[in-house]
């Protein structure tokens, strides 16, 4: 491709994403740029990623979707953003085979939890012994619990349009999307944010960033680990700590949370320069 072609593709992608209410996956952008017949080709998606990664106007969310920093979504003040903090317990880790057996959710607004939701979820898939030991949930406990279809509408309403937060979003969000998709229900429009990734960026000095260890570090109540309601509440606590730290760093909008690598690198450079200046002044004195 010529340089002019690349610039044209980036400009089209920018205009396209600017008008979208939510971040989009790479194939959706490939479809816009290269057409329906080519958008699922691996090489086409590689080209799209290469186009966007090197351009500071574009942002990749923690669930590997794309938007632009100039979008209304990314310029949303953190104080106004609404976060749906979700944790799932499942029969295992294989999407398409394993199933959700418990959901916990906290809505966070203005640094406070304003609504909660939790439920066991019926599954006729046998709960493996290791999952039962980890969670304390057994198949008998699911007797009388609603199916996912029973709660899908309410759950969609709770997460739709909000920032979807999980501690390791690579697990929870794909599982939830699968449960909606296999029932023919359009999954809610969300923006993915991962507290595990935030913790790596905001507190690089910590030896462990597991949810129980972060809860202990920040004195967050977490009395029943590996149960969805308790884990969602603890994750909401970590999110609140992250928002406090973001405010200390002078971050003001949602897009700033996806710039953290640059923010922290710039801060480290400033600290190094400050120390060098101080050392030089002490030496000259």
The Cα 220–Cα 231 span in angstroms is: 11
Q: Is residue 279 part of a domain?
A: no
Clarify whether residues 45 and 112 are in a common domain: no
**Cα 159 from chain centroid (whole Å):** 12
Residues 17 and 60 sit within 8 Å (Cβ to Cβ): no
- Domain assignment present for residue 14? The answer is yes
In this model, does residue 53 exceed pLDDT 80?
Answer: yes
Which CATH number do you get for residue 241? Answer: 3.30.420.10
| Average pLDDT value for residue range 4-14 | 88
pLDDT reading at 285 higher than 70: no
Task: Give 213: exposed, middle or buried? Use CB within 10 Å, 0-12, 13-18, 19+.
Answer: middle
Whether residue 90 contacts residue 170, with contact meaning beta carbons closer than 8 Å, is answered with: no
DSSP label at residue 89: E
Same domain, residue pair 199 and 104: yes
Angle between helix 3-18 and 42-53 (nearest 10): 80
Residue 262 within a domain: no
Cβ-proximal residues to 102 (8 Å cutoff; 6+ apart), any chain: 88, 89, 118, 119, 120, 121, 135, 137, 227, 228, 229
Domain end call among 45, 68, 91: 68
- Measured between alpha carbons, how far is residue 221 from residues 115, 142, 208, 218, 235 in Å? 17, 26, 18, 9, 10
Residues 59, 146 within the same domain: no
Distances (CA, A) of 62 to 65, 126, 171, 181, 192: 7, 32, 12, 20, 5
Specify whether 125 is located in the same domain as 230: yes
Q: How many domains does the chain have?
A: 2
User: Is 138 part of a structural domain of the chain?
Assistant: yes
* pLDDT of res. 106: 98
Q: Tell whether 134 and 212 lie within a shared domain.
A: yes
Give tens-digit pLDDT for 128-158: 999 999 999 999 999 999 999 999 999 999 9
- For residue 18, what are the domain limits? 3-68
Q: Could you give the percent of the chain with pLDDT greater than 70?
A: 92
Cβ neighbours of 248 (radius 10 Å): 9
Q: pLDDT band at 221, cuts 50/70/90?
A: very high
Residue 148 shares a structural domain with residue 196: yes
Give yes or no for residue 266 having a pLDDT over 80. no
Is 161 a member of any domain?
A: yes
Q: Are residues 147 and 202 in the same domain?
A: yes
pLDDT, the chain, mean: 91
What pTM was computed for the model? 0.90
């Amino acid at each position: 491709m010529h340089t002019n072609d690349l610039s044209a593709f980036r400009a089209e992608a920018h205009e396209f994403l600017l008008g979208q209410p939510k971040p989009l996956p790479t194939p959706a952008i490939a479809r816009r740029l290269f057409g329906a017949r080519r958008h699922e080709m691996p090489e086409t998606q590689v080209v799209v990623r290469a186009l966007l990664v090197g351009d500071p106007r574009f942002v990749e969310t923690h669930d590997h979707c794309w938007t632009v920093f100039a979008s209304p979504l990314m310029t949303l003040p953190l104080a106004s953003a609404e976060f749906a903090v979700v944790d799932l317990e499942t029969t295992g880790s294989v999407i398409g085979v394993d199933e959700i057996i418990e959901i916990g959710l906290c809505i966070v607004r203005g640094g406070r939890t304003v609504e909660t939701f939790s439920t066991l979820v019926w599954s006729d898939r046998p709960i493996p012994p290791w999952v039962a030991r980890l969670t304390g949930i057994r198949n008998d406990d699911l007797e009388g619990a609603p199916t996912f279809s029973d709660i899908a509408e309410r759950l969609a309403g709770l997460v739709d349009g909000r920032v979807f937060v999980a501690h390791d979003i690579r697990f929870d969000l794909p599982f939830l999307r699968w449960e909606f998709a296999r029932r023919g229900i359009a999954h809610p429009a969300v923006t993915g944010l991962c507290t595990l990734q935030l913790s790596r960026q905001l507190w690089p000095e910590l030896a462990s960033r597991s949810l129980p260890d972060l809860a202990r570090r920040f004195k967050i109540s977490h009395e029943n680990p590996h149960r969805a309601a308790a884990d969602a509440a603890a994750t909401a606590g970590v999110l609140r700590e992250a928002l406090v730290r973001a405010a200390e760093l002078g971050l003001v909008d949602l897009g700033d949370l996806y710039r953290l690598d640059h923010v922290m690198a710039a801060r480290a450079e400033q600290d190094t320069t400050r120390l060098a200046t101080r050392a030089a002044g002490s030496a000259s004195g």
